[in-house]
Amino acid sequence: MNGPMTISPQQMIHMIRNGLDKTQTPKQITVVGAGIAGLVAASLLKEAGHKVTILEANSMVGGRIYTIRSPFSNGLYLNAGPMRIPDTHLLTLEYIKKFGLPVNPFINRTPADILYVNGVMTRLSIFEKNPEILNFPVRPNERGKSAEELWKLATDPVVQFINKDPERHWPLIEKEFKNQSLGTFLNSFHDQYGTTFSDGAIDMIDVLLDYEAFMGMSFLEVLRETSGLSTNRFYEITGGMDLLPKAFLPQLKEEIRFNQRITKIAQHNQGVTIHSTDPRTFKNSTTTSDLAIITIPFSVMRFVTIEPYHSFSYYKHRAIREINYMAATKIGIQFKSHFWERYGQYGGKSITDLPIRFTYYPSRGIGTSEPAVVVASYTWADEAMTWNGLSDAERIQYALNNLAQIFGSQVYSEFVSGISYSWVDNPHATGAVVAFEPGQENELFPYITIPEGRVHFAGEHTTLTHGWMQGAIESGIRVAHEVNHLPI
């Protein structure tokens, strides 16, 4: 088994700025998927001298970088996919800089964030000074500790061990915790008093840190996410996150064939043929090339025929079949004014144990009397699936009802319009992001990026930076570098 090439972040930034080396063996390459991974790979390969064709099942670029502008007015929008960029995600920021896209700070958290949990209304800053205010039934030795303090109590020893020598210690941690879920880890953790966390302490961590939806996920997945996100500074693209994938269109618009849903990958002596169908007309098409780069989610690949079957390894078939994709649902509501600012909520979020769970307030237009769109609800996994049996109108109504418990009946008179979006319902994704279940990282991840004959792979699922544009961009650069100098 040969793993993917290792490229440093500095090398990747150099490639974004200067491109790949010009190829001496130009190839015909089919890229399946015009999400950010496919666009990055196609852009670099075209610049290097290859002939690129992009097949996209949708009628637009971007994949899960999706910005909804209707039914909102005044140029407002909802980022149904990614909505923030950590300042540590240098590849994403480098492409934004390359295209000259405007950004503004994304206020992810403030001391004044509203908490409404267990029937108690308070502020984040007040809770952190007096965690008992929310009435979680914790043990005496857990009293006085906030959710973050409890989380750090459990994870800091692991993180500190890793940080002493990441190259040597990460594999040891992976081996020790490879089969543990987050729930198993928290329930088996022994603190300095020799006792495990109480149910109340675990519930506090789950509710306030948004881990309730991740309890069945791999502990390693959650640990990597939290340890790698050591920043409180975030940005957003002013005008909508979809401006990033759209910035590739001047270079690639002639190479993209929209409304081409892949149905079969057939490898043969002459190359690889991608079979696709137009979902509007059911017209079938074929595209033959020297190589193919598959960037679509494995959740969608499950519906694609592989011919011959054994052209993909046993473990690649398993990864396609088994890798876990999480549900995610957002509800966006336009209000007439920034009424939440009268309560001291300027950007940031509110957290509740009501079905809406997390509400994010706009970071732009603070202090104005303009209309604004609020992410009224952002939920994951089972919490997101709770909304799936409801119509769009019902989701909006229940979200308003939940917000009314926090802000009162004014939410109804302030309401203008709303929309909801569930990634499980998207036929081109059938899920939001990869979130490994226990054991999947060790058993299956090493095989995800391995080329299968003439077929190569990219997408956020082929990295360990799941759920972020950074991971998808990284994979696009990696796969472009991987195929650039291959012989025909």
CA–CA separation, 87 and 90 (whole Å): 7
Residue in 474, 413, 435, 428 with CA at minimum distance from that of residue 80 = 428
57 marked among binding-site residues: yes
**β partners of residue 306:** 265
Locus of tokens 């899960």 = 64
140 marked among binding-site residues: no
Distance of CA 105 to the CA centre of its chain: 19
Is the Cβ–Cβ distance between 275 and 263 less than 8 Å?
Answer: yes
Residue in 331, 299, 340 with CA at minimum distance from that of residue 428 = 299
322 marked among binding-site residues: no
The residues, any chain, with a CB within 8 Å of residue 217's CB and separated by 6 or more, are 181, 182, 324, 326, 381, 435, 436, 437, 438
Residue in 218, 200, 216, 198 with CA at minimum distance from that of residue 208 = 200
What string of H, E and C letters represents the secondary structure of 453-464? CCEEECCHHHCC
Q: Where are the alpha helices (DSSP H) in 279-380?
A: 298-301, 314-322
47 marked among binding-site residues: no
Cα dihedral sign, 337-343-349-350: negative
Distance of CA 233 to the CA centre of its chain: 17
* Interior angle at CA 408, CA 404 and CA 412, nearest 5: 65
CA distances from 366 to 210, 337, 341, 351, 407 (A): 26, 10, 8, 20, 18
CA–CA separation, 123 and 234 (whole Å): 21
Strands (E), 153-260: 234-237, 256-257
Using DSSP's 3-state secondary structure scheme, residue 110 falls into: coil
84 marked among binding-site residues: yes
Residue in 250, 179, 244 with CA at minimum distance from that of residue 470 = 244
In degrees rounded to 5, what are phi and psi of residue 55? -105, 125
56 marked among binding-site residues: yes
In degrees rounded to 5, what are phi and psi of residue 33? 110, 125
**β partners of residue 305:** 264
The residues, any chain, with a CB within 8 Å of residue 281's CB and separated by 6 or more, are none
In degrees rounded to 5, what are phi and psi of residue 299? -60, -30
Which tokens sit at 189? 């953790």
318 marked among binding-site residues: no
- List, as residue ranges, the binding site: 56-57, 81-84, 460
Binding site members for substrate:
84
- Binding-site residue set for FAD: 56-57, 81-84, 460
